Amino acid sequence: MSNRPLMLALTGLHRAVLRMTGQRLGRRLGSMPVIELTTTGRSSGLPRTALLTVPARDPGSGALIVIASRGGDDLQPAWYLNLVAESRVLVAAPGEHPRPYRARTADPDERARWWPEAVRAYRGYAQYQRGTSREIPVVILEPAAAD
């Protein structure tokens, strides 16, 4: 059974809390900051924005690490499929102006480095991985110059 209805409801609630509190509440989930990731729809070509948590950062490069878990669903998240098709994305903390980033899937060595960090930030990722047959992608968002 898909977690999609629950995930959509929780995301809608999270967006409502951000909007109703003027971005004062909902900027973090636990210890993780929340970002708005805007991708280009792979079919529509339209901007698509997802709220995601950042379980890890690379202080040297300024890269943000996000996890394409979709709550442990067997399907990849749409935002992930979009960034695989077009790596240029925009990232913003709620209420801030978006900045350009390049998105890419971590290679095996990078995944081995960042996956444990993500699980330390949120143990649910390990449970999600056990519940699906796909390898949950670790995504690296690297700051980019504006085009």
We report the CATH number of the domain holding residue 39 as 2.30.110.10
pLDDT band at 19 (very low <50, low <70, confident <90, very high): low
The reported pLDDT for the residue numbered 6 is 54
Boundaries of domain holding 94 = 4-143
* Residue 31 dihedral angles phi and psi, to the nearest 5°: -90, -5
Task: Answer for the pair 63, 56: CB distance below 8 angstroms, yes or no.
Answer: no
The reported pLDDT for the residue numbered 34 is 87
What would the mean pLDDT of 98-123 be, rounded to a whole number?
96
3-state secondary structure of 80: helix
Closest by CA to 146, choosing from 87, 65, 79, 90, is 90
How many structural domains does the chain have?
1
**Looking at the chain, how many residues does it have?**
147
What pTM was computed for the model? 0.82
